[in-house]
Amino acid sequence: MQKKTLTALVSTAALAAMTVALAQNLRLSDNVVRVGVLTDLSGVYSELSGQGSVKAAQMAAADFMAMNSSFRGKVQVVGVDHQNKADVASNKAAEMIDRQNVDVLMDLPTSSAALAASEVARQKKIPVMVVTGGTTALTNEKCNKYTFHYAYDNYMLANGTGTAVTKRGGNSWYIIYPNYAFGQDLNRQMTAAVQENGGKLVAPSDATPFPNTDFSSYLLKAQGLKPKVFGTMQAGADLVNVVKQYNEFGLRQQGIGLGIGLLFETDVAALGQDAFSGALATVPWYWNLDQRARDWAARFEKAFGKKPTWAQAGVYSATMTYLQAVARAKTDSGDAVVKALEGHRFSDFFARNAYVRPQDHRVLLDVYTVQVKPKAQAKENGDYFNRVATIPAARAFQPLSESKCKM
Amino acid sequence: MNTQLLLIQVFNGLVNGAFYALLSLGLAVIFGMLRIVNFMHGALYMLGAFAAFALGQAFGLGFWPSLILAPIIVALLGMVLERTLLSRLYGLDPSYNLLLTFGLTLLTQDLVKQFMLSHYAVSSAPYTPPAALAGVVNLGFVVFPKYRLFVIGLSLVICLLTWFVIEKTRVGAIIRASTENPGVTRAFGIDVGKWVTGVFGVGVGLAGLAGVLAAPIYSVEPYMGAELIITTFAVVVIGGLGSILGSVVTGFAVGVLAAVGAALYPPIANTLVFILMALVLLVRPSGLFGLPEGAK
């Protein structure tokens, strides 16, 4: 007993000494670490990221300060609206870095906006952690030393869902995708995943206008083609319309299943759980994944009034990971933090078995293929998913051998 | 493309055509009678859908009562707007009412968005067709949602009815007279101002009706009218500004052409209507059904 107390004392003292050392060597640019959440505060993605992402980053900042009482700097979170436009994102990123002394950029829904901000961050040597943008270009041809891609990407979505659906017997597909960078990329990835698993496309994929509300032509075409799976690569409001009309035209009753490229909890909420029932999708996280996830989600709900989406949970995790890298590097200087992040292995309530791959800055983590359950099976509000498969971090993302990244 | 798919698309196009027709009909009535370019028409269409959704949420009202009530609410709101704001701009350059209605559109969209987020925690809401019209019906050449058939049918009836009232009845005669020559009409003891407000109400009520009809097909969301209104303006221009018959016929025709276009070559679906507009303007600047300037 006494020995135990002694050990505890000694280790506490050692820890204290270490943290003091950490505090003394800490070199912050202006004694404040500023986290810039560059997100959509007013548009189509404001619900799934937006203010919730800002709140998540603030929670991470507060938790970090509480856990590191000896950290002598302050952490501040700034939320800025990029309106999902590449030019606005580019201007705002530069303004945040130059005028507000922001030390890191976070979130960045909309692939084009994420790519634009990533380029600004590269020029200004500031780390950027893309959580809500999906394009794989960020870790391929457009990769750079300062950009990290967190939570998910199109390869992971396609690989997860394409494989799961095809292996479960959905081996003939007809795919539609929105005609812009994200949709084109996702269609390519999904087609490859289906074919690699022995499936086939019954007709070439169709590009739909973006944004679009009426998908009846494509649904009627699917009726004629009779594939086993109708694959939709649309996102957000467009996805809601596709699925609504998929149900309206009775495709499920005609034996045509639904494969979804990118699914957020807010889409399920917008349309009702039953409309999505049976559909498969791949997500990096969901709030009732397990007890750890539930605990964090409960805290978020208390603070924000709504359950978190996986994008918002991802922003918390990315912010925490960044701040811990600052603590390890003992500075908020971009180059040093990048170094502290590279090769870092960790596991938190969001990112399990996570690894920051140094070669392309893809953050690898376990992801989950889920099936939307009917409302009748939901145990509580927001209980949307049944887990079909866990894809381990090492297999979930594009292998390094296929990467086009030259850093 | 085989004949069956072509036939399917022609048929399918009638659904979107129904929405174009109802909206452009309202625009044509308002422009033809009052010379107002009502940019707010799309927002009022959205308000129709939103009213149906909100009535359901607040009072548990189903689709059928909403189909009657929501357009009336939109019409009343339109009449209030006409009396308080638009009427002040009569006689001024048309760009003033364009700017006003555009501003009102932005305001309405954001108000609805804030309201939906704060009250229902969603920015796009589900709305289902009535039980009697749920499901699909096998027409032989295609399996088609019953509700969409109903949309085609009802909008045809409404369009015919509107055309009949304006062209063939005494009420229509008064309306036409009030706008053609307000001074003389007033001399007959007719309160022209009231008729103008009424016509505006009916015009935007048609937009509200289209909104309720759209709610079960598209999600109810604050910006649902924004895209549609651009196409609708193109339809109005093709049909001939202010021509009632023109807006109805062109509305359905554009719907069908866009659907066939989408099947033949998907990227063209959204541009087709503007290509058509450019062609028509080259050949007949006053639109297909519009009378050339000076012929009136």
Q: Which of A214, A266, A269 sits opposite B16 (nearest CB)?
A: A214
Residue B8 near chain A (CB below 8 Å)? yes
For testing contact with chain B, the best of A42, A83, A217, A264 (most B CBs within 10 A): A217
Chain B residues 220-249 with a CB less than 8 Å from chain A: 221, 224, 227-228
Cβ contact A217–B126 (<8 Å) = no
For testing contact with chain A, the best of B219, B264, B271 (most A CBs within 10 A): B219
Helix (H), strand (E) at residue A189: helix A181-196
DSSP state of A309: P
| Residue range(s) in chain A whose domain bears CATH number 3.40.50.2300 | 26-152+289-365, 155-283+368-400
Residue B165 near chain A (CB below 8 Å)? no
Q: Which of A44, A207, A306 sits opposite B266 (nearest CB)?
A: A207
Residue B140 near chain A (CB below 8 Å)? no
Cβ contact B266–A240 (<8 Å) = no
Tens digit of each residue's pLDDT (9 = 90 or more) over B67-117: 999 999 999 999 999 999 999 998 888 889 899 999 999 999 999 988 987
Interface size, chain A vs chain B, as Cβ–Cβ contacts under 8 Å: 87
| B207 neighbors B26 (Cβ within 8 angstroms) | yes
Tens digit of each residue's pLDDT (9 = 90 or more) over B3-32: 778 888 898 999 999 999 999 999 988 988
Q: State which CATH number among 2.60.98, 1.10.3470, 1.10.1760, 2.60.40 fits the domain covering B3-295.
A: 1.10.3470
Extract the tokens encoding A362. Answer: 């893809």
Give the phi and the psi of residue A209 in degrees, each rounded to 5. -60, 155
User: Distance, in angstroms, between B136 CA and closest chain A CA?
Assistant: 6
Residue B44 near chain A (CB below 8 Å)? no
Domain parsing of chain B, residue ranges? 3-295
What does the pLDDT profile of chain A (407 residues) look like in tens digits?
455 555 555 555 554 544 444 444 677 877 899 999 999 998 778 889 999 999 999 999 999 999 988 888 899 999 999 988 999 999 999 999 999 999 999 999 988 999 999 999 999 999 999 999 999 999 999 999 999 999 999 999 999 999 999 999 999 999 999 988 889 989 999 999 999 999 999 999 999 887 788 899 899 999 989 999 999 999 888 898 899 999 999 999 999 999 999 999 999 988 889 999 999 999 999 999 999 999 999 999 999 999 999 999 999 999 999 999 999 999 999 999 999 999 999 999 999 999 999 999 999 999 999 999 999 999 999 999 999 999 999 999 999 999 999 98
Q: Which residues of B17-39 are buried (b: 16+ CB within 10 A; e: fewer)?
A: bbbbbbbbbbbbbbbbbbebbbb
Contacts of A272 in chain B (CB under 8 A): 126
Contacts of B106 in chain A (CB under 8 A): none
Tens digit of each residue's pLDDT (9 = 90 or more) over B216-250: 998 788 989 988 899 999 999 999 888 888 999 99
User: Distance, in angstroms, between A274 CA and closest chain B CA?
Assistant: 11
Cβ contact A249–B145 (<8 Å) = yes
Q: What separation in angstroms does the CA of A26 have from each of A72, A322, A380? A: 8, 15, 46
For testing contact with chain A, the best of B123, B150, B264 (most A CBs within 10 A): B123
Q: How far apart are CA A314 and CA A294, in angstroms?
A: 14
Q: How far apart are CA A102 and CA A2, in angstroms?
A: 49
B181 — pLDDT class (breaks 50, 70, 90): confident
**What's the fold here for domain A26-152+289-365?**
Rossmann fold (3.40.50)
Cβ contact B143–A266 (<8 Å) = no
For testing contact with chain A, the best of B16, B57, B124 (most A CBs within 10 A): B124
Contacts of A46 in chain B (CB under 8 A): 123
State the pLDDT at residue A313: 98
Q: Complex ipTM, two decimals?
A: 0.80
Pick the closest to residue A159 from A133, A132, A185, A131 (CA basis): A185
Extract the tokens encoding B181. Answer: 């020559």
CATH number of A155-283+368-400: 3.40.50.2300
Cβ contact A213–B227 (<8 Å) = yes
Cβ contact A241–B218 (<8 Å) = yes
Q: How far apart are CA A260 and CA A235, in angstroms?
A: 9
State the pLDDT at residue A326: 95
Q: Which of A214, A220, A240 sits opposite B124 (nearest CB)?
A: A240
- Collect all residues with Cβ–Cβ distance below 8 Å to B174 and sequence separation of at least 6: B185, B190, B195
State the pLDDT at residue B294: 47
